[in-house]
Amino acid sequence: MIGVHTPETEGEKNVEGIRKSARQHNLEFPIAVDSATRNWQAWSNTIWPAVYLIDKKGHVRYWWYGELNWQGTDGEKFMREKIVELLAEKP
Protein backbone atom coordinates (compact mmCIF):
# COMPACT_ATOMS: atom_id res chain seq x y z
CA MET A 1 0.00 0.00 0.00
CA ILE A 2 1.21 3.46 -0.85
CA GLY A 3 -0.48 6.72 0.02
CA VAL A 4 -0.16 9.85 -2.10
CA HIS A 5 -0.96 13.11 -0.36
CA THR A 6 -1.74 16.04 -2.64
CA PRO A 7 -1.74 19.19 -0.51
CA GLU A 8 -4.36 21.83 -1.19
CA THR A 9 -2.81 24.53 1.02
CA GLU A 10 0.73 25.60 1.93
CA GLY A 11 0.22 24.25 5.46
CA GLU A 12 -0.63 20.80 4.08
CA LYS A 13 2.79 20.67 2.37
CA ASN A 14 4.56 20.44 5.74
CA VAL A 15 6.16 16.99 5.70
CA GLU A 16 6.60 16.85 9.49
CA GLY A 17 2.90 17.63 9.89
CA ILE A 18 2.06 14.83 7.46
CA ARG A 19 4.28 12.40 9.40
CA LYS A 20 2.68 13.42 12.69
CA SER A 21 -0.83 12.94 11.30
CA ALA A 22 0.13 9.54 9.85
CA ARG A 23 1.44 8.43 13.26
CA GLN A 24 -1.73 9.68 14.99
CA HIS A 25 -3.83 7.60 12.59
CA ASN A 26 -1.53 4.54 12.79
CA LEU A 27 -0.73 4.70 9.09
CA GLU A 28 2.36 2.55 8.62
CA PHE A 29 2.61 2.56 4.81
CA PRO A 30 4.72 4.99 2.78
CA ILE A 31 3.09 8.30 1.92
CA ALA A 32 4.41 10.33 -0.98
CA VAL A 33 3.79 14.08 -0.97
CA ASP A 34 2.67 15.33 -4.39
CA SER A 35 3.07 19.07 -3.80
CA ALA A 36 3.37 19.79 -7.53
CA THR A 37 0.18 17.74 -8.27
CA ARG A 38 2.04 15.72 -10.91
CA ASN A 39 0.66 12.39 -9.70
CA TRP A 40 -2.82 13.89 -9.36
CA GLN A 41 -2.66 15.09 -12.95
CA ALA A 42 -1.11 11.86 -14.30
CA TRP A 43 -4.06 9.87 -12.92
CA SER A 44 -6.55 12.52 -14.15
CA ASN A 45 -7.98 12.77 -10.66
CA THR A 46 -10.90 15.08 -10.14
CA ILE A 47 -12.22 13.66 -6.88
CA TRP A 48 -10.53 13.42 -3.52
CA PRO A 49 -9.93 10.92 -2.11
CA ALA A 50 -9.36 8.37 -4.85
CA VAL A 51 -8.40 4.75 -4.09
CA TYR A 52 -6.91 2.46 -6.72
CA LEU A 53 -6.23 -1.27 -6.49
CA ILE A 54 -3.44 -2.48 -8.72
CA ASP A 55 -2.94 -6.17 -9.45
CA LYS A 56 0.29 -8.17 -9.36
CA LYS A 57 0.91 -7.38 -13.03
CA GLY A 58 0.65 -3.64 -12.44
CA HIS A 59 -2.82 -3.12 -13.92
CA VAL A 60 -5.42 -0.93 -12.25
CA ARG A 61 -8.29 -3.31 -11.59
CA TYR A 62 -10.59 -1.45 -9.21
CA TRP A 63 -11.06 2.08 -7.98
CA TRP A 64 -13.22 4.06 -5.64
CA TYR A 65 -13.75 7.80 -5.82
CA GLY A 66 -14.70 9.62 -2.65
CA GLU A 67 -14.78 8.53 0.97
CA LEU A 68 -15.03 4.77 1.31
CA ASN A 69 -17.82 4.82 3.87
CA TRP A 70 -19.52 8.10 3.00
CA GLN A 71 -23.13 8.21 4.18
CA GLY A 72 -23.48 4.47 4.56
CA THR A 73 -21.77 3.32 1.37
CA ASP A 74 -19.87 0.03 1.59
CA GLY A 75 -16.72 1.20 -0.16
CA GLU A 76 -14.34 -0.18 2.44
CA LYS A 77 -16.07 -3.56 2.42
CA PHE A 78 -16.02 -3.62 -1.39
CA MET A 79 -12.32 -2.72 -1.58
CA ARG A 80 -11.35 -5.23 1.12
CA GLU A 81 -13.16 -7.98 -0.80
CA LYS A 82 -11.34 -6.97 -3.98
CA ILE A 83 -7.98 -6.97 -2.17
CA VAL A 84 -8.59 -10.56 -1.03
CA GLU A 85 -9.59 -11.47 -4.59
CA LEU A 86 -6.46 -9.91 -6.09
CA LEU A 87 -4.15 -11.48 -3.50
CA ALA A 88 -5.56 -14.91 -4.37
CA GLU A 89 -4.68 -14.54 -8.04
CA LYS A 90 -1.56 -16.15 -9.41
CA PRO A 91 1.09 -13.71 -10.64
Q: Cα separation of 19 and 10, whole Å? A: 16
The residue ranges of the chain whose pLDDT is under 50 are none
- The structural domains of the chain, with segments of one domain joined by +, span 1-45, 46-91
Residues 10-36 have pLDDT tens digits of 999 999 999 999 999 999 999 999 999
CB neighbours (10 Å) of residue 6?
20
Element (DSSP H or E) covering residue 31: strand 31-33
For residue 23, the one-letter residue type is R
Query: 30: which strand partners?
Result: none
Q: What is the pTM of this model?
A: 0.80
Q: Cα separation of 2 and 54, whole Å? A: 11
